[in-house]
Structure 1
Amino acid sequence: MSTVSPGAIQAAQDALDAHVREIIAWHFSPETGCPFWLDWAKSADFDPIKAVTCAADLAKFPHFQDEWLRDLPNEVWVPKPYTGRPFFVFETGGTTGMPKQRIGWDDHKHDYEEFSAGLDDKFFPKGGNWLMLGPTGPRRLRLAIEHLANFRGGSCYHTDLDPRWVKRLIADKEFETAKKYKKHAVEQGATLLKHRKISCLFTTPLLLEALDEYVNVPDAGIKGVFCGGTSMNPQTVRFLIEEILDNRAQFVPTYGNTLMGLAQSRPVTREDNYSITYHAPQPRAVLRIVDPNDTQTTVDYDTWGRVELSTLTKEFFMPRFLERDEALRRQPWGRFAWDGVGEVRPFGALETKAIEGVY
């Protein structure tokens, strides 16, 4: 166990509080704010700039509603200094129907450049090429992985993959067609690995397991695997590390999405029984584990609760969004002087079965 000193924890909290003040001032000042938050403040029962002076004060906001990102025109989210600058439109990769959309300019670049600093050059070599075997199309992840590869001096190969189509097939009980589509996606990746020099891979747990049926991943030249997908229990993680990667390629899981960016994991070890803990990219985003029945209350350490996300960048302010995930609240660790979230899984996973498709 890597303990964090009280001084480091306080310094991280002070930095977060200062960042919150800066972001609130940006989004609620007429000179810099976006139409949505400036209009929202007119009918609020508090003045955000005066009343929100630290991270704890974010609790004064109501929960952010995902319908706002489905139903409202994207232009309401443009901060004044970005007016007239074309924006990216990123969609969440989950449900069918009208998706949640987040606009952006450079946030995905900042998030992945920060993430890059934590990668081990031995396993994710500078100048090495990447394969992105995961959701493509309008997903933030597609551009972000390519930027990560370019930022580290390499190029990125891609496959075609629409996760919504897989979810629809599963919902309609067309399981054989879903398997055929997954096979199609994985065969694309295997073909690229056989014919191109690639040393780094991004994929999901299910696709990584399926890829092993077509090619031995370490033998194909992969030294590091960056793996996304929220539900990775210890048994799955152990299987991927020991059986699929044969302990020869580094396994780096992440908990990320279009609204947050990506949370980084602690090193995954046998000593921790392959249990994954993620830490948010503070101060750009904050994760809390809250009591589902009283979301003002943070649960105790090593207790299950619902994941609450606040995103705090100049491009996007999203306070107190309740994710469709639950997790264990974990203590600060190592260079992460703030709480972590452990063993993330779909909210209510023990009561209901979520459709996760290729994740």
Structure 2
Amino acid sequence: MSDQLEQQADAARKRLDEEAVRIVQLHFDPELGAPFWLEKAKEYDFNPLTDVKCFDDLKKFPLFEDDWFRGGPVERFLPKKWHNEYKYTFETGGTTGIPKSRCVVRDHFIDYEQFSDTLSDEDFPRGSNWLMLGPSGPRRLRLAVEHLCQYRGGICFCVDLDPRWVVKLLKKGDVESAKAYADHVIDQAYTVLTANHDIKCMFATPKLLEALAMRLLDEGTSMAEVGIKGIFAGGTEFTPQWYRFCKEELLGPDVFITPTYGNTLMGLACGKPFDPADEFKITYYAPQPRAAIEVVDFDDYNKVVGYGETGRVKLTTLTEELFIPGFMERDEGERELPCEKFAWDGISGVRPFHVFAKKTTVGVY
């Protein structure tokens, strides 16, 4: 790293340390804290209010258990400071059993307003209408993209998409019905795009974006010809190979696309700005200090791997609405150096954690 980037990285780390302390102070505040953490603190052999003095001190907490998010009351993770505000509930998973859920006040709005600041007005013109081509229902993504569109001055058009139904079909081996459902989703998107709504920007998942682009080509048109200028997409299906295919074959030179990586707990990690020298390599940077990603050793989740080395994704969420120390994601990848735009560690090659990969069912999106 250059001297200037090292200074920026040091400043970013200092801010992360300060935010870790501030957020722990709020979530464990006896009067305003989160009910879940106030109860949990009774089990610890340390005092979060006095013993957390930097980000690394969060290792004092046990790893966060996935099942803690299943069932209610959903507001137990939300500090009492927010309990009289309007609240939203977002779910993830839920194909089998009780879905994981999160109670939110404004986090989804803040995350996407900050993401908006990373988008260029040339590729994502302000005042433009958007198409949200992704999951609907109880998922945060639908409302978050709509807010992003409104924040930038536009109107958001959405489709109906229930990914749980598609996963059920695939698990039963009913590929034909799953394909029919995917066609149903693309029919909705095609209808909206060709109805003179002046849509210039969109969110899509790789599978759905590819299917829509192919449908437009079959109809004798293209993304550029129907007016699309900027697309952000995300998911482990967004590989370097698909990135090249998308830019060179599906979209062409007049449509910009940027990769993203995120979920209901983290927010949205941005992709490193495209550089031809990277050979379509995709590197993501978490929205620090609101969330931090560490690429950790497969056998020691408190040990960060070296740059360029492979490890599992460890997520820490630090917002006034949600505190998650040490959540082990179902992804792995390679640790990357900070970059000029994002002065903290990144991750490339994001893919399903190899232990779970064979058990993962990838649906319509």
TM over 0.5: yes
Distance 2:132 2:229 in 1: 14
- Alignment partner of 2:338: what SS? coil
- The residue correspondences of 1:96-107 to structure 2 (distance < 5 A) are 96-107=96-107
- Pair 137,2 (structure 1): closer, same or farther in 2 beyond 3 Å: farther
Aligned match of 2:47: 47
Identity %: 50
CA-to-aligned-CA distance 1:234-258 (integer Å, 9 cap, x gap): 1111111111111221111110100
Code of the aligned partner of 2:334: L
Aligned residue pairs total 359
Q: Secondary structure at the match of 2:199?
A: coil
* DSSP 3-state at the match of 2:302: strand
**TM-score of the superposed pair, with normalisation by structure 2:** 0.95
Partner of 1:229: 235
1:8-19 matches, within 5 Å, as 8-19=8-19
Contact 2:232 2:258 in 1 (8 A): yes
Work out the CA distance in 2 between the residues paired with 1:350 and 1:142.
27
Instruction: State the 1:192 CA deviation.
Output: 0.5
Residue in 1 aligned with 2:213?
212
- When residues 234 and 106 of structure 1 are mapped into structure 2, their CA distance, relative to the original with a 3 A threshold, is same
Contact 2:24 2:52 in 1 (8 A): yes
1:83 aligns with 2:89: no
Identify the residue that residue 203 of structure 2 maps to in structure 1.
Answer: 202
> Runs of 5+ in structure 2 lacking a partner?
217-221
Using the TM superposition, give the Cα deviation of residue 292 of structure 1 relative to its aligned residue in structure 2, in angstroms.
1.6
Per-residue deviation at 1:2? 8.4
State the TM-score, normalized to the length of structure 1: 0.96
CA distance in 2, matches of 1:94, 1:119: 32
Deviation at 1:94, TM superposition (A): 6.4
Structure 2 counterpart SS, 1:294:
coil
What is the match of residue 110 of structure 1? 110
Specify whether residues 31 and 351 from structure 1 end up closer, same or farther in structure 2 by C-alpha distance, changes over 3 A only.
Answer: closer
Q: Which amino acid aligns with 2:288?
A: Q
* Superposition deviation, residue 3 in structure 1: 8.3
Structure 1 runs (4+) greater than 6 angstroms displaced = none
Q: Which residue of 1 aligns with 2:127?
A: 127
Q: CA deviation at 1:354?
A: 2.5
Taking only aligned residues, the RMSD between alpha carbons, in angstroms, comes to 1.6
Do the aligned partners of 2:91 and 2:100 also contact (CA within 8 Å) in 1? yes
C-alpha separation in 2, matches of 1:97 and 1:233: 30
Cα contact 2:330–2:356 (8 A) shared by 1? no
- Quick check: 1:358 aligned with 2:364? yes
**Is the counterpart of residue 248 in structure 1 residue 254 in structure 2?**
yes
1:295 partner SS:
coil
User: Post-superposition shift, 1:60?
Assistant: 1.1
Structure 1: how far apart are the matches of 2:319 and 2:296? 22
Correspondence 1:157 to 2:164: no
Matches within 5 A, 1:164-175: 164-175=164-175
TM-superposed CA distance for 1:85, in Å, is 2.7
Partner residue of 1:178?
178
